[in-house]
Amino acid sequence: MSSKRGLAVALLLALPARPAVAQRRDETSATVFQRYADHTAKIQVVESGSGAKAELGSAFFVSADGLLVTNYHVVAEAVDDDRYRVEWLDQNGAGHEGRVLAVDVIRDLAVVATDRPTTRYFSLAALTLPKGTRLYSLGHPEDLGLSIVEGVYNGRLEHTLYPKIHFTGPINPGMSGGPALTADGRVVGVNVATAGNSVSFLVPIDAAIPVIQRARDAESDSGPPDFTAEIGKQILANQDTYLATLFQGGDSVVHIGPFELPTQPAPFFRCWADADRDHEGRYETVDHQCSTDDYIYLSGSQSSGIVSLAHKVLLSRGLNPLRFYNLYSNEFRQSHTAAEFAEATDVTEYRCRNDNIRRQRMVLKTRFCVRRYTSYEGLYDADLKVAVLGARDAGVVSELTLSGVSFDNATRIARKYLDRIRWAKP
């Protein structure tokens, strides 16, 4: 059992059909809906040839000149593929062409120009709220028509790589990009994802303000930038920031058997452990895994910004060394991280370097593999795998996976990781 556990967070694209949850009607909901329904729009990505809908989401107006804010993942298909275009639907269901002006892949935001001046828009401002404040989320769940969902503000998530608001309310696929607001009409965040059972997430609204500014700049300059280059730049800048914090402050290590191993590289990692001692008493295995909770949506097939590490320690209980090492070899051949964040066209093949590395009294059988993003220059996936050699009755297979990082960062983090693999007793 080596599958990645943790919070399964689904983006709110209207793809899988799930039962919509009926909402309790109350006075405030009705008032909010009446007052702000016309501040929102439906967004769909349309395949140009057939005119068929490929994706569906929600959006809301943020300016008098008709700019819409939505999620990047709602319009992603149209951003990196000419065969798709963005369409927005007004309150009467009439479709109009929309132009993507700016994106922020890290925060999952996009700004779409409608070229229709409006008076029905939200003025955005950063705001702080007490936990428990009632919020109303607007959007198009499962393409069932504009709906309002009442829920509760539960503060910003702690220990997360990208700021997110925890919203307790059943937001569903199709509501992505819609606003979540207070009863008096202040937008708190943008619907982005759900973990099911009313555990939902919003992108804090302050993240949208610079993206809107960039959209304005793009409009006044020569139009929208080359988004592929822009997205590549955003990921590169972002990974530089968060990777700098890995394996900083204090040595987070875990002792398993005779080994000292790295763990919890930064607060935004989640770690699990699992031991299995029932192999007819011949050997024991101990699993220890850490992974970032968050990821960056690039396209339906590719995501980025995921870092995970996994240790599998094997301890012999009197097993013949040759038999024990057979077992150990099999573990080394397997992959321990659930790493597959891309399809064949998104990345190159892996290229690997195999060698032994000597450190103190330790020989590390090391395999370091990298592949490049085909569309985004300077971004790589890297996979470091290590087996500690030399002990006849103990072994550890350790694997570090980085996705969407620069090559320099990949080697730098890999070295830091190797440095933290040691014998527990000198």
Residues at the site binding another protein, with contacts judged by CB under 8 A: 279-280, 282-283, 319-329, 332-333, 335, 339-340, 344, 348-359, 361-375, 377, 380, 383, 385, 387, 389-390, 392, 395, 407, 411, 414-415, 418-419
What does the DSSP assignment read for 270-325? EEEEEEE--STTSEEEEEEEEEES--EE-SSS-EE--EEEEEEEEEESS--HHHHH
Nearer to another protein, 137 or 289 (CB): 289
- Smallest distance from the beta carbon of 325 to another protein, in angstroms? 5
- Smallest distance from the beta carbon of 395 to another protein, in angstroms? 7
Q: What is the CA radius of gyration of the chain?
A: 24
Question: How far is CA 366 from each of CA 11, 212, 223, 255, 415, rounded to the nearest angstrom?
Answer: 36, 46, 48, 21, 11
The alpha carbon of 69 is separated from its chain's Cα centroid by a whole number of angstroms, namely: 19
- Smallest distance from the beta carbon of 374 to another protein, in angstroms? 5
Nearer to another protein, 24 or 333 (CB): 333
Nearer to another protein, 78 or 413 (CB): 413
Task: Report the alpha-carbon distance of residue 426 to residue 423 in Å, rounded.
Answer: 6
Task: Report the alpha-carbon distance of residue 296 to residue 302 in Å, rounded.
Answer: 9
Nearer to another protein, 26 or 226 (CB): 226
- Smallest distance from the beta carbon of 255 to another protein, in angstroms? 20
* Residue 139 contacts residue 40 (beta carbons within 8 Å): yes
- Smallest distance from the beta carbon of 143 to another protein, in angstroms? 34
Phi/psi for 71 (5° steps) reads -85, 150
- Smallest distance from the beta carbon of 224 to another protein, in angstroms? 21
Nearer to another protein, 167 or 380 (CB): 380
Nearer to another protein, 127 or 424 (CB): 424
**Three-class SS of residue 135?**
strand
